[in-house]
Amino acid sequence: MENHYEVIIVGAGSMGMAAGYYLAKKGVRTLMIDAFDPPHANGSHSGDTRLIRHACGEGLDYVPLAMRAQELWDDLQTKTSETIFRKTGVLTYGPPQSDFVGRAIEGGRAYDLNIETLSADEINQRWAGISIDDDHVGCYEPDAGVLFSENSIRAFRRLALENGAELKVNAPVQEIEVHGDSARVSTHDASYTSDKLIISGGAWNKRILDDLGLNLKLTPSRRVIAWFNSDDDLYRSDNFPGFFADLTDSVYYGFPCIDGAGLKVGRYDNGEDMAPEYMNREFGVYDKDEGDLRRFLGAQMEQANGRLNVGKVCIFTNTPDEHFIIDKHPEHPHVAIAAGFSGHGYKFSSVVGEILGNLVTEGSTELDISLFSATRPAIQQQSMEKL
């Protein structure tokens, strides 16, 4: 049948496009379907860059994933002329009671990663562009750095197509039917069937999974990022690290100045929960869009608090415990799910793509993904309805 595939991927963004490549590389007949034309500004991958940390403040379970993800990013770099990863180092810092900083240090030590623990004085002396509170502490990873998210998706897309995958763009999915050993996916102008199915629809996952009888707590949230004119001598990428600031009353993250674009900063918390189709994507529509970022820069990185160069809106899709969902559908083991990446998932998208490919071809993965179960109590909205 012309419209039958071994695997259909619904959502060809960060995780879906990576999965498409790894499946196609195995010779699996794969169709990727996306409502837009990735990379695009409507998903969680927009905004040019993402941090990758290996000593993960999210917990020890993430460290093996981060290490494998880095191997895959390095491999992807060998297959493209576009920049995938730039080693800038990443500094994670906050007050001494910060669990996030403590877990980053614990993870670095447990896995014998190249990390340094630094006092506030050591941080302020090493990087003249930063000024943190005297009692704060930090974890510095010199081997971590910046991923170029849109470049990466373009590279995965090209490689997937070169290896035989197909991609339908600007094709919002209208209906998904899951049967005992197959699936049917319908767009506005065609229907496709497959033996296996991957759901990686980003902020649209809630609606998709509800329709498949899996009612999970997934909340899309509006967040902003912005680039500010900054002192290149202090903040350029060969002289200043990426950073994650877990402060007492707020959480910020950012990037050094890359190619003259200015220092980039975003607020990790304090977003507005809303469905993606109703999300206002205009930066500055709320005073806090720029105001929160400037308050952080004024207190911590004053010489990066220059004119606003660019502001953008992005989407987080959050779970209550901020852990991912990477699993097979409990009622349909031929359906794999990647959802709820809660603002810290992009760096893992290479390995998540590999895991998804393994789940639908081998039925399992060698990496421990038990933390990301689709049946854990924290993310259950109500009893799962039978299809």
What is the predicted pLDDT for the residue at 387?
38
pLDDT tier at 385 (50, 70, 90 boundaries)?
A: very low
Clarify whether residues 161 and 259 are in a common domain: no
Closest CA to 255 of 76, 142, 91: 91
112-125: average pLDDT:
98
Distance between CA 265 and CA 212 in Å, rounded? 37
What is the predicted pLDDT for the residue at 41?
79
What is the predicted pLDDT for the residue at 379?
97
235-245: average pLDDT:
97
228: which residues sit within 8 A by CB, 6+ positions away? 262, 263, 264, 265, 293, 294, 297, 304, 305, 306, 307, 308, 309
Q: Quick check: 343 pLDDT over 70? A: yes
What is the predicted pLDDT for the residue at 151?
97
What is the predicted pLDDT for the residue at 40?
86
Closest CA to 264 of 300, 297, 223: 297
Q: Quick check: 2 pLDDT over 80? A: no
What is the predicted pLDDT for the residue at 382?
60
pLDDT tier at 46 (50, 70, 90 boundaries)?
A: low
Closest CA to 154 of 208, 84, 68: 84
Q: Domain for residue 367, yes or no?
A: yes
Clarify whether residues 293 and 173 are in a common domain: no
Clarify whether residues 167 and 135 are in a common domain: no
Specify the pTM.
Answer: 0.95
Do 273 and 235 meet the contact criterion of CB atoms below 8 Å apart? no
CATH number at residue 136: 3.30.9.10
Domain residues for the domain of 40 are 4-45+150-215+321-379
Instruction: State both tokens at 83.
Output: 């920049």
Clarify whether residues 310 and 325 are in a common domain: no
Distance between CA 100 and CA 138 in Å, rounded? 10
Clarify whether residues 165 and 136 are in a common domain: no
140-148: average pLDDT:
98
Mean pLDDT is lowest, of 9-13, 186-190, 315-319, 380-384, for 380-384
Clarify whether residues 303 and 154 are in a common domain: no
Select from 318, 339, 369 the last residue of a domain.
318
Please provide the average confidence, as pLDDT, over all residues in the chain. Answer: 95
Beta bridge partners of 263: 228
What is the predicted pLDDT for the residue at 345?
96
Clarify whether residues 154 and 136 are in a common domain: no
Distance between CA 270 and CA 296 in Å, rounded? 13
Read off the pLDDT of residues 153-166 as tens digits, 9 standing for 90 and up.
Answer: 999 999 999 999 99
Clarify whether residues 165 and 128 are in a common domain: no
CATH number at residue 157: 3.50.50.60
pLDDT tier at 1 (50, 70, 90 boundaries)?
A: low
Clarify whether residues 240 and 307 are in a common domain: yes
Q: How many domains does the chain have?
A: 2
- Phi/psi for 195 (5° steps) reads -80, -35
Q: Quick check: 383 pLDDT over 80? A: no
Distance between CA 192 and CA 18 in Å, rounded? 21
Distance between CA 203 and CA 274 in Å, rounded? 10
Distance between CA 253 and CA 264 in Å, rounded? 9
First to last CA, the chain: 26
For 247-316, the DSSP string reads: -SS-EEEEE-B-TTS-EEEEESS--EE--GGG----TTSSHHHHHHHHHHHHHH-GGG---EEEEEEEEE
Tally Cβ neighbours within 10 Å of residue 241: 27
pLDDT tier at 243 (50, 70, 90 boundaries)?
A: very high
